[in-house]
Structure 1
Amino acid sequence: MAEAERIIGTPDSAGADESAASDDGTAAPEEQPKGRRRIVALLVVAVLAYLLDLGSKMLVVAKLEGREAIPLIGDLLRLDAIRNPGAAFGMGEAFTIVFTCIAAVVIIVIFRLARKLYSLPWAIALGLLLGGALGNLTDRIFRSPGVFEGAVVDFIAPAHFAVFNLADSAIVCGGILIVFLSFRGVDPDGTVHKD
């Protein structure tokens, strides 16, 4: 088994000979920078998604809220500022505190997964989820009507669809990428398995 792992070169077995010789059980030197780069990628994607969401919401609140919707592509797409106290598609308005707790749990889970992160696509997917969750969590904590009860600012309004924001887009794109990676058999630690 150990010989097969050495030949395949999975992240857990890379440098196994060097780490086996180490008394303190630390990872081989060549593993550590690879893992750090993936965490940095996760954080860069998360910060970019978060800042884009936050900036767009600040602009929408300052320039669009309380005004008529702005058509972008005829009746197919418009900008229309609304406050959404519920979840996606405006459901669950009475459960704002629950959605706040769920977002906080998602953020904690992402940070726990990041410790074993060696896959760049997984880093991007988790970064999108983290940035989106932080964007909507910021609204729920700091926007009116109160702390942990705030309404999320939504403004992208396609015809015959729910109004959403950039944080929602980041969460959906991250989720789609995770489903794709799972179907391809790619794990967060970079290993690929065939079922």
Structure 2
Amino acid sequence: MADLKITRRMGFAVALLVYAVDQFIKAIIIHGVALPVRRVIEVLPIFRFYWVENHGISMGFLTADGPVERWLLVLLTGAIAVAVVFWLWRERNKLDAAALGLVLGGALGNITDRVRLGYVADFLDLHFGDMHPFLVFNVADAAITIGVLLLVLRALFVRTPAASEKN
């Protein structure tokens, strides 16, 4: 039982850290640097800050054009976050708990934006010359993506013994 508590705490600590870093960096971009929407700040030849207001979810899917759609997206992502909390609460594997923490922290960061601002603030642009393999994203999006990838990779490539094999 103590091991489950440690795993659970670690997952929620990862979520809290992701959420705090995401919101802190967004505050700096929006208020500290006061980066205007659609203005570009080149950081590296392959990386720049480029603030966009994302009214939908990934790749323009489910764009929230009005308040009803916006709150439906809040409810949808909130329901997903609740499901992740339940999964994390029962998770015994530390890597999976950390991955779920990444997903939860990212989801909460984007939900906070949508409730507070009416959109999700995206500002990270990774590019290779004129090639932009990724849409503009934020820390929360990166955490969600990494968390989901970790979960998928573990599900596909890591064999865990069945309950009957443990005995």
Per the shorter chain, which TM-score range?
A: 0.7 to 0.9
Counterpart position of 2:20: 51
Partner of 2:100: 126
- Over the aligned positions, Cα root-mean-square deviation in angstroms equals 1.6
Q: Which amino acid aligns with 1:183?
A: L
Give the conservation status (yes or no) of the 8 Å contact 1:89–1:163: no
- Which of 29, 39, 42 aligns to 2:11? It is 42
* Runs of at least 5 residues in structure 1 that lack an aligned partner in the other structure: 1-31, 144-149
| TM-score under structure 1 length normalisation | 0.72
Q: Aligned pair in 2 of structure 1 residues 47, 175: CA closer, same or farther (>3 Å)?
A: same
Stretches (4+) displaced over 4 A = none
Greater relative contact order (Cα < 8 A, sep 6+): 2
Q: Does 1:176 align with 2:160?
A: no
Shift in Å at residue 157 of structure 1?
1.1
Going by fraction, where is helix more abundant, 1 or 2? 2
Greater Cα radius of gyration, structure 1 or 2: 1
Map 1:31-180; keep pairs closer than 5 Å: 32-62=1-31, 63-66=33-36, 68-74=39-45, 76-94=46-64, 95-143=69-117, 150-159=118-127, 160=132, 161-180=134-153
Whether the aligned pair in 1 keeps the contact of 2:14 and 2:98 (CA below 8 Å) is yes
User: In the TM superposition, what is the alpha-carbon distance from 1:115 to its structure 2 partner?
Assistant: 3.1
Deviates more, 1:120-129 or 1:154-163: 154-163
Shift of residue 185, structure 1, vs aligned partner: 4.4
Q: Percent identity?
A: 29
